[in-house]
Amino acid sequence: MKDSPRGGKILASLQQKRNLFHAQNSPNTLVRRVPPCLRGHRRVFFKPLPAWVEAEPRVARRMHGRASMHTHTRKTGCRGFTLVELLVVIAIIGTLVGLLLPAVQAARESARRTQCVNTMKQVSLACLNYENGRGRLPLALDTKNIFSWAPQVLPFLEEASMVAQYDTAVGWWLSPTNRPIVARQLNAVQCPSTPTLNRIQDKPETTTENKTGACGDYFTPTGVHPVDANVFLSLGEQITGDTRGALCWFSSGTNTNVAGLNNKGFANSKNSLKDITDGISKTILLAECAGREDVYRGRTKYAVDYNASGPLGKAIRARGGAWATTDNAFMIGSIKPWTSGSLPTLGDIPTAPAINSSNEWGHCFYAFHPGGANVAMADGSVQFLSDTTPLRLLCTLVTRAGGETAGIP
């Protein structure tokens, strides 16, 4: 059979299969086992062995570990990040955070400013409702009963229960009934952008109890200081007419020169919207003066110090911090600091009266909103005034009957 051509082919085929079988099962053939994680990619490669290994099979078996180093298995697993790649990713994330953080802060401030606008609108509408029911606006000062405009509008701010307990026959800080009332923190008089909320005024008194009460951030401009303001105005811009504000000073009795207001009939017992002849949409009713009793000049804070006992050794007070105090109403245009006897002070405010220049009593408007402050007009609207608004225009907007026609640009 093997002599025939067909028989030779069959024998050759059988010999080839037998040789292959012996090759696969020979101890001289080194096969690297594929780890379980790569079983889906099992590919075994045979590498010819040196002649001395063929002659010594036992040595080959003992050196199986070394021989496996010469075999090759394809690795297809995922590799990790290199240090450079990781640093690049961190840098990109840091850059994105740096770009997004100012936007987030701006969005938060925008929300706080909107909340401030809504709060001021509620207070201004409370004043208008008071005028509608009483025939006059709230009084900025009453030298007989010593209470400010704020307690008068509480019933229109859903605080009627507080007013029912309020004793108007004595000073706001004296009555045992009044003290817990004026110590209450009212959201209606606080700006959410103020860094320190829920502040307390605790001014020492020598003959009576301390003037203690919760602070607010809104006040009413009672007019323009005719002396100090004119120092910073040119001759053609000086205030010569009626300097009173919408909620102007009121003094009982015969005193017509409250706080040296140049004898312009300040014994006002009735201030109404009809007295605002400059236009209710062009006259400021309420404005921001935030952060009191601490003093702010620019964005520099000076902590309140009534007795000059602090590290600066100066008497420091913005004045008018408590929402119930009669000091929560003042004329704008002054640069003088609060004084307490002969104690040293910070000195005069170094800049002309301007928005966000200082929150000290009698100076101007002050807020923690970037670029300006909110004001509520006598028609109930709330406007934002830039801190670049000229002093003469501010005076025009504060006076109720100065004969000016200019409005907010």
Give me the DSSP letters along 183-202: TS--GGG--TTSSS-S-EEE
Of 241, 394, 365, 371, nearest to 409 by C-alpha is 394
Q: Which of the 8 DSSP states describes residue 314?
A: S
For the chain, helix, strand, coil in percent to 5 are 35, 15, 50
Tell me which of 7-21, 84-98, 296-310 is least confident: 7-21
- Measure the CA–CA gap between 249 and 247, rounded to whole angstroms: 7
Does 15 or 283 have the greater pLDDT score?
283
- Measure the CA–CA gap between 269 and 271, rounded to whole angstroms: 7
Residue 129: predicted pLDDT:
96
Residue 5 has pLDDT above 70, yes or no: no
Q: Which of the 8 DSSP states describes residue 307?
A: T
Interval 142-193: pLDDT, tens: 565 577 899 889 999 988 788 788 887 788 888 888 899 999 999 999 999 9
Residue 246: predicted pLDDT:
92
CA 25 to chain centre: 80
Spell out the SS3 assignment of 144-157.
Answer: CCCCCHHHHHHHHH
Interval 20-61: pLDDT, tens: 666 666 555 544 455 555 555 545 444 555 555 555 555 555
- Measure the CA–CA gap between 225 and 287, rounded to whole angstroms: 16
- Measure the CA–CA gap between 281 and 295, rounded to whole angstroms: 31
The residue assigned the tokens 């928005």 is 355
Residues 237-241 have a mean pLDDT of 86
Gyration radius of the chain over CA positions: 43
Of 392, 377, 381, nearest to 220 by C-alpha is 377
Residues 386-400 have a mean pLDDT of 95
Distances (CA, A) of 244 to 79, 229, 333, 336: 78, 13, 13, 20
Q: Are 152 and 341 in contact (CB under 8 A)?
A: no
- Start-to-end CA span in the chain (Å): 118
Give domain limits for the chain.
122-398
Count other Cβ atoms within 10 Å, centred on residue 341.
6
CA 149 to chain centre: 28
Cβ within 8 Å of residue 52, ≥6 positions away = 59
Residues 374-390 have a mean pLDDT of 97
Both structure tokens of 395: 């005076």
Residue 289: predicted pLDDT:
98
The amino acid present at 209, given as its one-letter code, is E
Residue 204: predicted pLDDT:
92
Spell out the SS3 assignment of 219-255.
Answer: EEEEEECCCHHHHCCCHHHCCCCCCECCCCCCCCCCC
Interval 108-143: pLDDT, tens: 999 999 999 999 999 999 999 999 999 989 888 756
Interval 195-207: pLDDT, tens: 999 999 999 987 7
Both structure tokens of 377: 């007009």
Q: Are 204 and 343 in contact (CB under 8 A)?
A: no
Both structure tokens of 21: 């079988």
Count other Cβ atoms within 10 Å, centred on residue 257.
14
Q: How many residues does the chain have?
A: 409
Interval 246-297: pLDDT, tens: 988 776 544 434 343 433 444 555 789 999 999 999 999 999 999 999 999 9
pTM score: 0.74
- Whole-number mean pLDDT of the chain? 82
Residue 185: predicted pLDDT:
94
Q: Are 282 and 406 in contact (CB under 8 A)?
A: yes
Both structure tokens of 92: 């990109």
- Measure the CA–CA gap between 98 and 108, rounded to whole angstroms: 16
Share of residues in the chain with pLDDT > 90 (%): 50
Both structure tokens of 272: 């109404």
* 30 backbone φψ class: left, alpha, beta (φ>0; ψ -120 to 50): beta
Residue 159: predicted pLDDT:
83
Residue 124: predicted pLDDT:
97
Count other Cβ atoms within 10 Å, centred on residue 147.
24
Residue 6: predicted pLDDT:
63
Residue 309: predicted pLDDT:
94
Residue 67: predicted pLDDT:
46
